[in-house]
A and B are shown apart, each in its own frame.
Chain A
Amino acid sequence: DQQVKQNSPSLSVQEGRISILNCDYTNSMFDYFLWYKKYPAEGPTFLISISSIKDKNEDGRFTVFLNKSAKHLSLHIVPSQPGDSAVYFCAASASSGANSKLTFGKGITLSVRP
């Protein structure tokens, strides 16, 4: 039951270039999307989110784009830095009262080469 899909398991980019991490979802009830970053032996760290009423949200080097018709979102990191090397999870939520559980993708391992 892959409601949130991150089809590319890994991505390698040069320092200073753009990293684009993709995520697709199938559940049309999802209306809030989040990206988390995770280092080994640590918990997921919240990066950026977007509501379904928007198509773009920007925070510093991080921008998330949402294409609702395609059920696709992407995280852009510009410029990429070696410290960005981590696993990135896409997560989605259907805003249903107090529940709002997150459904996660499998994650993408980003490696930023110096």
Chain B
Amino acid sequence: EPEVTQTPSHQVTQMGQEVILRCVPISNHLYFYWYRQILGQKVEFLVSFYNNEISEKSEIFDDQFSVERPDGSNFTLKIRSTKLEDSAMYFCASMGTSARYTQYFGPGTRLTVL
């Protein structure tokens, strides 16, 4: 069964450093998303991406964040200068056109900012 994959599973970085989180969505999906979950809190929407551009972003997704689909398979989230409060689980999700509104999630990347 096709699945969303994410790398790395755990990323530890120093405050102020740049990180890139990588995702490979399900191959025939066209809609891509990033969410995050701070420990003990809700899963929160960050950004949606369709047709090579951002469809919507939350207020969390400020200028320090960017997304890119550099090739036909990868979808990346970059945080330019990490802050302590960026420590969270980051989930990538993708959605196809046959089952609209059903998003399939990857296993997540645990980001720890020291």
A interface vs B, CB < 8 Å?
32, 34, 36, 41-46, 49, 89, 91, 93, 95, 97-107
Contact = CB atoms under 8 A, between A and B. Distances in A.
A45 B48 contact: no
Contacts of B110: 41
A46 B107 CA distance: 12
B35 to A, nearest CB: 8
A89 B43 CA distance: 9
A95 B101 contact: yes
B33 A101 contact: yes
Contacts, number: 66
Contacts of A41: 107-108, 110
Contacts of B104: 46
A98 B33 CA distance: 11
A89 B45 CA distance: 14
B38 to A, nearest CB: 12
B105 A45 contact: yes
B43 A97 contact: no
